[in-house]
């Protein structure tokens, strides 16, 4: 049988002629060749290629979640693509180890030629942050300037378009808000969970008060911590308090979405909830990995240039450390463990709801037996 497609050559398919001619060290151009500038260029080009792949994966997940009714099989596909991003992020972190084979003196051989270019101007990375759902108000400014002010007008438009487009955070909020198991005719998760929390907190307070080994000072300290814990749970169970926190920028997920995410985390052992739990876990992994990458990047910059100002005019590692702290997107999911309770204390699900959360085929076999 004749092959329906013409043969293709490896180098042509990968456009290696273009790719391998895309490194133009500035030190060569100025007649002072710096050996390590090639490494510096290749590392950053590799980053941009991986950023392109991450954007490709994020766009596909966003498209899946735009539908009002999401096909269950798409959850599994989305998980595989988020997992791919997580694995890519590990490569991004490890690439810093390669860059650190360049010493500070090696970097000084060509650093001045780069001014004012900076990683701050990586359009693709800013687009990734926007597609994930980074709040523009939380962005660390560079010299009191907005993040899009130091790029070309063409790139500025791309950034503003991505900032105004739907993010994964917004899509996930809508998806979680539609999950039907939070309140059914037989089961009200918020009510049952609130009752369980009330019993748990009552027992905890009694333990603190009746603990003979505590001094008056330690007892007072633990009671104060107990009141803070109680306030956290009250904010979770009171929609008005939650909305107030949202208005202050202290919460990103809506009230319904937060309850749904908590329900998924608490009842993750139910078969139908396992994939949603993994999906939410990968979002946290992605956020954590970017935080790790920013933090390690900051340490590398400190090691490389000390307290000098960055080539783009930032405060060097101080700026990067600030972004590691403030550029998280899924902080609400990070906070969920605050509200987890032991499996033994979980409100029991009604039989009909457990059946809906199980696998139909397994349930059918049990029924036939």
pLDDT digits (tens, 9 = 90+) for 68-108: 778 778 999 999 999 999 999 999 999 999 999 999 999 99
- According to the model, what pLDDT value does residue 290 have? 96
The span from the CA of 359 to the CA of 344, in Å, is 23
Q: Is the alpha carbon torsion for 170, 176, 180, 185 positive or negative?
A: negative
- According to the model, what pLDDT value does residue 1 have? 60
Q: Is residue 287 within 8 Å of 334, Cβ to Cβ?
A: yes
Residues 6 or more apart whose Cβ sits within 8 Å of residue 65: 78, 168, 171, 172, 174, 175
Q: Is residue 278 within 8 Å of 82, Cβ to Cβ?
A: no
- According to the model, what pLDDT value does residue 16 have? 97
Residue recorded with tokens 């810093």: 96
Average pLDDT over residues 116-120: 83
Answer yes or no: is pLDDT of 115 > 80: yes
Average pLDDT over residues 155-175: 95
Answer yes or no: is pLDDT of 52 > 50: yes
Average pLDDT over residues 152-172: 94
Cis, bond preceding 116 (omega within 30 deg of 0): yes
- According to the model, what pLDDT value does residue 369 have? 46
Answer yes or no: is pLDDT of 47 > 80: yes
**Strand positions, DSSP E, 107-240:** none
Provide the residue ranges of all domains of the chain, joining segments of one domain with +. Answer: 15-368
pLDDT digits (tens, 9 = 90+) for 334-366: 999 999 999 999 999 999 999 888 865 444 444
Average pLDDT over residues 15-42: 96
The span from the CA of 339 to the CA of 341, in Å, is 6
Class in CATH terms, 15-368: mainly alpha
More confident residue, 169 or 4: 169
Average pLDDT over residues 39-58: 97
- According to the model, what pLDDT value does residue 336 have? 95
Output the average pLDDT for the chain.
90
- According to the model, what pLDDT value does residue 315 have? 56
Structure tokens at 36: 């390590």
- According to the model, what pLDDT value does residue 230 have? 87
Please, which contacts does 186-194 make with residues 24 or more away whose CB atoms are closer than 8 Å? 186/350, 186/352, 186/353, 187/349, 187/350, 187/353, 189/259, 189/263, 189/347, 190/237, 190/259, 192/347, 193/237, 193/262, 193/266, 193/347, 194/237
pTM for the predicted model, two decimal places: 0.89
Q: Is residue 62 within 8 Å of 132, Cβ to Cβ?
A: no
Answer yes or no: is pLDDT of 367 > 80: no
Answer yes or no: is pLDDT of 268 > 60: yes
- According to the model, what pLDDT value does residue 364 have? 46
Average pLDDT over residues 172-185: 92
Average pLDDT over residues 51-79: 92
Q: Is residue 114 within 8 Å of 311, Cβ to Cβ?
A: yes
Q: Is the alpha carbon torsion for 218, 219, 224, 229 positive or negative?
A: positive
Quote the percentage of the chain above a pLDDT of 70: 94
More confident residue, 116 or 63: 63
- 3-class SS at 2? coil
- At 253, the pLDDT band (50, 70, 90 cuts) reads very high
Structure tokens at 251: 């919460």
Answer yes or no: is pLDDT of 273 > 60: yes
- According to the model, what pLDDT value does residue 366 have? 47
pLDDT digits (tens, 9 = 90+) for 308-341: 665 554 556 788 888 888 999 999 999 999 999 9
Question: What are residue 108's phi and psi, to 5 degrees?
Answer: -65, -20
């Amino acid at each position: 049988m004749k092959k329906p497609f013409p043969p293709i050559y490896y180098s042509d398919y990968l456009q290696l002629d273009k790719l391998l001619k895309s490194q133009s060290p500035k030190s060569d151009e100025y007649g002072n060749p710096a050996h390590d500038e090639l490494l510096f260029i290749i590392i950053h080009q590799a980053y941009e290629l991986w950023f392109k792949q991450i954007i490709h994966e994020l766009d596909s997940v966003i498209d899946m979640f735009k539908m009002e009714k999401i096909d269950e099989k798409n959850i599994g596909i989305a998980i595989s693509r988020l997992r791919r991003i997580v694995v890519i992020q590990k490569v991004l972190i490890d690439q810093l180890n390669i860059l650190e084979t360049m010493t500070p003196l090696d970097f000084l051989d060509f650093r001045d030629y780069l001014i004012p270019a900076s990683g701050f101007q990586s359009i693709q990375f800013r687009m990734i942050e926007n597609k994930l759902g980074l709040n523009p108000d939380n962005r660390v400014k560079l010299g009191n300037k907005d993040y899009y002010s130091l790029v070309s007008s063409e790139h500025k438009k791309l950034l503003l378009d991505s900032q105004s487009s739907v993010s994964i955070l917004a899509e996930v909020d809508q998806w979680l808000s539609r999950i039907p198991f939070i309140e059914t005719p037989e089961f009200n998760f918020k009510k049952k969970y609130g009752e369980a929390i009330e019993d748990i907190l009552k027992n905890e307070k009694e333990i603190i008060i009746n603990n003979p080994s505590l001094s008056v000072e330690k007892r007072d300290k633990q009671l104060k911590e107990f009141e803070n814990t109680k306030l956290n749970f009250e904010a979770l169970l009171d929609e008005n308090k939650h909305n107030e926190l949202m208005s202050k920028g202290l919460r990103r997920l809506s009230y319904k979405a937060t309850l749904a995410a908590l329900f998924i985390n608490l009842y993750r052992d139910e078969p139908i909830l396992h994939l949603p739990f993994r999906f939410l876990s990968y979002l946290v992994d992605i956020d954590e990995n970017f935080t790790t990458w920013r933090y390690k990047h900051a340490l590398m910059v400190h090691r490389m240039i000390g307290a000098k100002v960055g080539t783009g005019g930032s405060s060097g590692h101080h700026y990067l450390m600030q972004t590691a702290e403030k550029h998280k997107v899924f902080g609400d999911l990070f906070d969920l463990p605050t509200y987890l309770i032991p499996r033994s204390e979980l409100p029991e699900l009604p039989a009909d709801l457990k059946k809906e959360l199980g696998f139909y085929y397994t349930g059918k076999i049990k029924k036939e037996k």
